[in-house]
């Protein structure tokens, strides 16, 4: 098990940041595993604003993925799975073990899934993978996302929304609303 605490007060204490990562003043990234799945080849692959705390976050960003995160965000052991684009605003809070993904990673059609399984296998080297749907995920300012929640591709979560723990969000969430459940439904206003 890797440790998530850090002795540094900002930056990342487990070596140099990948070249395509830019972080603002007083932003802290902990955990030695933060970039173990960071494979983006985009010039501006990960941009994080100032005063943010990324405690034990997995930045699993594919070759074409780009992630932007605003100021004063606070994520705890979140899993960010990005093949295209995650756009996250300011003052966003993401709880323990929540997952955000902008793709399903595999195609829906059965025949294409067989082709994908072969291409992903140790014997499939060089074989092209089928086209896989990707849609950006947008999380606006002041959103709170609880522990164990899941946000799927193409979702836009409006400013100030409250995503209850364990929710599975498959559709857009209007600003200021509170959602809950699997699939997540609007149950009221986020005070």
Tell me which residues touch another protein (CB under 8 A): 1, 3-5, 9, 26, 28, 51-53, 55, 72-74, 91, 93, 96-97, 142, 144, 146-148, 159-160, 162, 164-168, 180-182, 190-191
Q: What are phi and psi of 11, to 5 degrees?
A: 85, -150
**CB of 147 or CB of 154, closer to another protein:** 147
**CB of 65 or CB of 95, closer to another protein:** 95
| Annotated catalytic residue, options 14, 51, 58, 106 | 106
- CB 86 to another protein: min, Å: 19
Q: How far apart are CA 49 and CA 8, in angstroms?
A: 18
H-state helical runs in 44-184 = 110-120
Q: How far apart are CA 55 and CA 60, in angstroms?
A: 15
- CB 146 to another protein: min, Å: 7
Strand partners, 29: 12, 54
The verdict on whether 106 is a catalytic residue reads yes
Strand partners, 69: 48, 88
Catalytic residues: 106
């Amino acid at each position: 098990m890797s440790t998530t605490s850090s002795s540094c007060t900002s930056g990342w204490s487990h070596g140099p940041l990948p070249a395509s990562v830019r972080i603002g003043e007083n932003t802290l990234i902990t955990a030695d595993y933060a970039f173990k799945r960071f494979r983006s080849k985009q010039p501006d692959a990960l941009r994080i604003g100032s005063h943010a705390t990324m405690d034990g976050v997995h930045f699993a960003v594919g070759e074409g993925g780009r992630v932007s995160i605003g100021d004063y965000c606070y994520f705890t052991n979140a899993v960010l799975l990005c093949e295209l684009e995650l756009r996250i605003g300011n003052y966003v809070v993401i709880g323990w073990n929540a997952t955000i993904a902008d793709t399903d990673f595999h195609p829906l059609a059965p025949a294409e899934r067989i082709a994908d399984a072969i291409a992903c296998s140790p014997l499939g080297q060089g074989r092209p993978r089928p086209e896989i749907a990707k849609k950006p995920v947008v999380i606006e300012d002041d959103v709170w996302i609880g522990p164990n929640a899941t946000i799927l591709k193409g979702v836009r979560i409006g400013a100030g929304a409250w995503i209850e723990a364990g929710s599975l969000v498959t559709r857009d969430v209007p600003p200021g609303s509170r959602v809950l459940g699997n699939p997540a439904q609007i149950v009221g206003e986020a005070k």
